[in-house]
Chain A
Amino acid sequence: MPTPPAKGGSPRPPEPILLGMYRSIYATRQFELKCIELYRQGLIRGYLHPYIGQEAVAAGACAALNPADYIVSTHRGHGHCISKGADLKLMMAEIMGKATGYCRGHGGSMHISDKRVNNLGANGIVGAGIPIATGAGMGIKVRGTDQVVVVFFSDGASNNGVFAESLNLAGIYGLPVVYLLENNHYAVSTPIECATGCCDLAGRGPAYGIPGICVDGNDALAVYREAAAAVARARRGQGPTLIEAKTYRHGGHHVNDPGLYMDPAVLAEWKARDPLLRTRRAIDDDARSAEIEAQVDAELEAAVAFATNSPEPSVDAFLAGIEDR
């Protein structure tokens, strides 16, 4: 049975950081609720993996980054994408498969990348982003800049071979990479207790000579604090960090998975620690949070209108662009 992390106050970050994190969390939540609605209407197809309940991880980690820093994301990537500064119009258009989307309708929910803000992209293969991020770290070293990479991945991915290889590699070369393990306690429907003999996932860092830190993933302030420290270390040339953020999905693996295998009592406990509500409470100024919410609501409405009114990709133009053989 996963244990929710203990309650506890986190030191307040600077006001703009706090408000920015709330903006990310609120926008992700509203964006995904809208996506689920559009999915039910048949306007979004394929796989859609909601991040609802985990938003504080992306918001906290991305708040610790500069625009030039990179992120590498996962199949459950909307929150990472929004927190790094995505344009909701281009995101919604992509998820609706439109020609105006980030990937011209080639990618969909599982493959959004955003070159403008150095989001190297989501990935449909669990764990595959981990070596890519490690290589981005190596590329930064070869180019000699002071950028940092944050790679998001799940407890499920941490049991894949490339996790072990990549942490080892990053340890050898001292790469500027923050490995952000989002432990949402399930690999699809397999509880983490059934997927490893050792549930202390942060403890895998020291095994490769890398600091391993565990944090309450539903506490944006705490995630920000740990991410900022890890990012600062990486930027100073002091190498990688593994951060395990303990969190929980508010639903099943994807939009069509009711998540019946999740214990309702545990889920209720985690919902009581909803990162959206906790961050809103931390702002402690209804006018400020309401202002952010109104801005996001308007942006989202515009995004849905933009996506709805955008054209489908042209089949003829697409086929004409293919070189056979």
Chain B
Amino acid sequence: MIEMMYREALRRAIDEEMQRDPLVFLMGETIAERGGSYKVTEGLWRKYGPQRVIDTPIAEASFTGMAVGAALVGCRPVIEILFIDFAMLAMDQIVNQAAKYDFISGGQGTVPMVVRTQGGAGNGLAAQHSQSLEALFYHIPGLKVVMPSTPQDAYGLLKAAIRDEHPVVFIEHKLLYMTKGPVSEEETVIPLGRADIKRSGTDVTLVTYSHMTLKCLEAAALLESEGISVEVVDLRTLSPLDKDTVLSSARKTGRVIIVHEAVKRGGIGGDIAAMLMEEAYDDLDGPVLRIAGRNTPIPYNLNIEKACVPSVADIVEGVLRMV
């Protein structure tokens, strides 16, 4: 394994895939010579040239639509939408075009494109640059949604996303780009749709993804010193959802809390809780809980911003309430 930052792991995935397949190309705002606002594409413009690492004007709707068109004629575009908030400008192309084409055409053509974007609060960027909007995409049949928490997962899952025949919304987290972790030296593709048990435990299951995985692991370490054994299931891919891993962990511990940064109302947590009710009710020792973002736009001030998303203390408290 090699120690690598999350953003370096993403870059390595893109680099390897561009090397492997000349039909992979990149489009986005200031991703070329500047290397992207979060430096994920740094150095790729120099290596692959302006034909394959393409700066676009600020035109999310149309460059997302261009990815659909390029995918339909045989390419594998990877676009970067700088903030998930800006993906709202491209919803027609993501939801009505990319997600529908294979179905509408009766299977005449798939849309192998990746929308890389990032979300989440934590840098004082206020309400239009801090949202967690994954549920909007999770709700749409025809889209895959990936939210890796570690450099290794970011690396292996992005490679799988680029190779996938269908549109993938690949959501990074702004607080993860500088985090470090071990990444396999040999080339690794992590299949979409498989959760990862980041920590084994027997008393309570925390189902989570993206940046909240780190907080759940921190909470689990604290709880261990109190004699509570917590299992942390990192979904990694929201759609397709790895039901089997969630269900078997729930059956093992009998107690489940879903933890996500996105607003609780209408979030992924509600859907997973309902799934557990439908399929594992008899194996549960009590109601499924959700620990999630508060029902508010994200404020600018760092103190009140922090209060809007779950903290390690919130997770510890939730587990203690349950056992």
Contact = CB atoms under 8 A, between A and B. Distances in A.
Partners in one complex: yes
A152 interface: no
B307 interface: no
Contact of B108 (A70, A102, A105, A132): A102
Given A136-B72, A141-B51, A165-B57, A107 B104 contact: yes
Interface in B31-85: 51-52, 54, 56-57, 59, 61-75, 77
A70 B73 contact: yes
A128 B65 contact: yes
A135 B106 contact: no
Interface in A142-174: 142-143, 147, 149, 161-162, 165-166, 168-169, 172-173
Contacts of A325: 239-241, 243, 275
Contact of A135 (B52, B77, B101): B77
A103 B23 contact: no
Interface string A87-117: 0000000100000011111110001011100
A300 interface: no
Nearest to A145: B73
B65 A166 contact: yes
B92 interface: yes
A140 B63 contact: no
Given A125-B92, A132-B97, A136-B73, A113 B109 contact: yes
B104 A131 contact: no
A166 B92 CA distance: 15
Contacts of A275: none
A21 interface: no
A111 B63 contact: no
A35 interface: no
A131 B92 CA distance: 11
A103 B72 CA distance: 16
A143 B243 CA distance: 39
Contacts of A94: 106
A82 interface: no
A86 interface: no
B238 to A, nearest CB: 10
Contact of A134 (B65, B77, B96): B65
A139 B74 contact: yes
A142 B57 CA distance: 19
Contacts of A101: 106
Contacts of A105: 106
B227 interface: no
A192 interface: no
Contacts of B57: 165, 168-169, 172
A312 B185 CA distance: 53
Contact of A136 (B25, B70, B241): B70
A323 interface: yes
Contacts of B101: 121
A130 interface: yes
A139 B105 contact: no
A138 interface: yes
A106 B141 CA distance: 14
B232 to A, nearest CB: 21
Contacts of A165: 57, 59, 61-63
Contacts of A213: none
B104 A132 contact: no
Given A115-B109, A142-B25, A142-B52, A135 B104 contact: no
B120 to A, nearest CB: 24
Contacts of A70: 73
A106 B108 CA distance: 11
Contacts of B105: 102-103, 106-107, 111, 113, 115, 121
A304 B52 CA distance: 47
Given A128-B96, A325-B275, A120 B69 contact: yes
B61 A169 contact: no
A323 B66 contact: no
Contacts of A135: 65-73, 77
B104 to A, nearest CB: 4
A143 B67 CA distance: 14
Contacts of B65: 128, 130-132, 134-135, 162, 166
A137 interface: yes
Contact of B72 (A106, A132, A143, A166): A132
A110 to B, nearest CB: 9
Contact of A115 (B62, B69, B108): B108
A140 B196 CA distance: 39
A93 B67 CA distance: 30
Closest 10 CB pairs of A and B: A131-B65, A135-B69, A135-B66, A103-B106, A165-B62, A139-B70, A104-B106, A139-B73, A165-B59, A136-B69
27 contacts: A94-B106, A101-B106, A102-B108, A103-B105, A103-B108, A106-B105, A113-B108, A114-B108, A115-B108, A120-B69, A121-B101, A123-B97, A131-B65, A131-B68, A131-B93, A132-B68, A132-B93, A132-B97, A134-B66, A136-B70, A137-B69, A138-B70, A139-B70, A139-B72, A140-B73, A142-B52, A323-B240
Interface of B: 23, 25, 27, 51-52, 54, 56-57, 59, 61-75, 77, 92-93, 96-97, 101, 103-109, 239-241, 243, 275
Given A106-B105, A134-B62, 15 more contacts: A104-B106, A123-B97, A125-B97, A128-B65, A128-B93, A130-B65, A131-B68, A134-B66, A134-B69, A138-B75, A139-B70, A139-B73, A139-B77, A142-B25, A169-B56
